[in-house]
């Protein structure tokens, strides 16, 4: 075994021309499959797929990639983190919806939380009063379309699960 490799601290940052690892991220400069250029792939530790793949600059020789550096690495980490954050926000917005229904007793917030289980996905419809107390809850199909009118119909139907 190479002595240099075995002495290296597992948590120490790697800072090579085409590979940087630090703070839970790996940047790897790779050959661009679509053309003669180069790309950089950003991986978050533990994830099999890159969070971000983008074009990478050619070096001065117009043949090899420009080496990674600390500034580029930090910019790539920031960009990849933002991509992950936006993806998580989009997923949350798809799985959690809400609307408000006016009743004789006041406003009710009606939420729909989709549980995307692989074998048996479903959704939970919940009514919450102005005091933050849960008034009713029903299990519905994951494709249930929450809208002001569907929420009002559920309330008017004494919170019986919509079909």
Q: Is the pLDDT of residue 8 over 70?
A: no
Ranges of each domain in the chain: 3-68, 95-156
Written as one string, the DSSP assignment of 101-158 is EEETTEEEEEEEEEE--SSS-EEEEEEE-TTS-EEEEEEE-TT----HHHHHHHHHTT
Q: What angle do CA 136, 142, 148 make, to 5 degrees?
A: 55
**Cα separation, 10 vs 157, whole angstroms:** 61
User: Could you give the CA distance from residue 95 to residue 76 in angstroms, rounded to a whole number?
Assistant: 29
Residue identified by tokens 């609307």 is 99
Question: Residue 68 is encoded by which pair of tokens?
Answer: 């990674």
Return d(Cα 125, Cα 162) in angstroms, integer.
10
Q: How many Å apart are CA 125 and CA 159, to the nearest integer?
A: 9
Summarize pLDDT for 97-153 with one digit per residue, the tens: 999 999 998 999 999 999 989 899 999 999 999 999 999 999 999 999 999 999 999
Q: What is the pLDDT of residue 11?
A: 66
Q: What is the pLDDT of residues 41-70, one digit of tens each?
A: 999 999 999 999 999 998 888 888 999 999
Please give the model's pTM, rounded to 2 decimal places.
0.69
Q: What is the pLDDT of residue 35?
A: 77
């Amino acid at each position: 075994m190479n002595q240099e490799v075995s002495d290296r601290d597992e948590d120490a940052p790697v800072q090579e021309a085409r590979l940087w690892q630090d703070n839970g991220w790996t940047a790897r400069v790779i050959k661009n499959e679509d053309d003669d250029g180069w790309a950089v792939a950003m991986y978050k530790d533990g994830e099999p797929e890159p969070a971000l793949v983008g074009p990478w600059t050619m070096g001065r020789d117009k043949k090899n990639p420009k080496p990674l550096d600390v500034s580029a690495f930090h910019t790539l980490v920031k960009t990849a983190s933002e991509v992950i954050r936006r993806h998580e926000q989009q997923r949350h917005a798809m799985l959690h919806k809400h609307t408000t229904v006016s009743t004789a007793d006041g406003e009710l917030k009606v939420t729909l939380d989709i549980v995307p289980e692989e074998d048996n996905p479903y959704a939970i419809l919940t009514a919450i009063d102005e005091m933050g107390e849960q008034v009713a809850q029903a299990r519905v199909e994951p494709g249930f379309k929450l809208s002001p009118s569907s929420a009002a119909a559920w309330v008017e139907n004494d919170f019986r699960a919509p079909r």
